[in-house]
Amino acid sequence: MAQRCLKCLKYTMCVANFLCFMCGVAVLGLGVYLMVTFKFTILTPSLASFSVANMLLISGIVITCVSFLGFLGALKENRCLLLTFFMLLFFLMLVELAAACLLLMYEAQIAEWVEKDLNDGLKKAKTGRNETVLSEWDLLQNTFHCCGVNNASDWGRNVPKSCHEPPRNGTTPAYKPGCLATLKTWFAENFLVTGISVIVLCIIEVLGMCFAMTLFCHISRTGLGYKL
């Protein structure tokens, strides 16, 4: 009976990690596609390193590497790979929890940092010399239906087309809310979803660690698999 349960655990780990591996490949492919085709920022215009494409690339690489280790370790009953898989999951969980705690502790400082970054990006866009920053501001304003940092007056006389709403009654009024207030509202509305996602992800990682350590201990007791 115990052997059957362990066999079931082994193949469950293989299937779960294979599915995660395929998801990681899909995320990685999407990141490459967005990087080649689009230039879309996730936070503010001048934070190019936080683009959606870069985030997807990093996430895809991490998911594929970790899930591959788990799949191969369970399939081959390799203690070294299983232990590495366990340690990586444990490290990732610590990083996620640390990042969540830092966001809660330094929420005010992060808000100030985002505001400063928006103002710096707006100055570069107003000069007209940096086309990349200007196009990213256009995308930000079109996506969140906002204009400038605080309002349309931040652009002075040269208000970009992305600040204007679709034509109504022959007029094209500018979006009233600024991007700073809109971003704060967006983060507040998605805070609960983000928290739930982190909790679910941590539960999945804990289950993965439990499965890996159970299989690791069984292999150690029976003397099977590759030795450390």
Confidence tier at 228 by pLDDT (50, 70, 90): very low
* pLDDT for the residue numbered 68: 93
* Per-residue model confidence as pLDDT tens digits over 2-57: 577 778 888 888 999 999 999 989 988 888 887 777 655 544 555 544 566 777 78
* pLDDT for the residue numbered 84: 93
192 assigned to some structural domain: yes
141 assigned to some structural domain: yes
* Per-residue model confidence as pLDDT tens digits over 150-174: 888 888 888 888 887 776 655 667 7
Q: What's the domain count of the chain?
A: 1
30 assigned to some structural domain: yes
Mean pLDDT value of segment 123-139:
73
134 assigned to some structural domain: yes
User: 197 lies in which domain range?
Assistant: 2-222
94 assigned to some structural domain: yes
196 pLDDT above the threshold of 70: yes
Mean pLDDT value of segment 192-196:
81
* pLDDT for the residue numbered 142: 83
* pLDDT for the residue numbered 15: 92
* pLDDT for the residue numbered 226: 47
Confidence tier at 104 by pLDDT (50, 70, 90): confident
What single string gives the DSSP state of each residue in the chain?
A: -HHHHHHHHHHHHHHHHHHHHHHHHHHHHHHHHHHHH---BSS-TT-GGGBHHHHHHHHHHHHHHHHHHHHHHHHHT-HHHHHHHHHHHHHHHHHHHHHHHHHHHTHHHHHHHHHHHHHHHHHHHHHT--HHHHHHHHHHHHHHT--SSSSGGGGTT---GGGBPSPBTTB-PBP-S-HHHHHHHHHHHHHHHHHHHHHHHHHHHHHHHHHHHHHHHHHHHHT-S---
228 assigned to some structural domain: no
This model's pTM is above 0.85: no
227 assigned to some structural domain: no
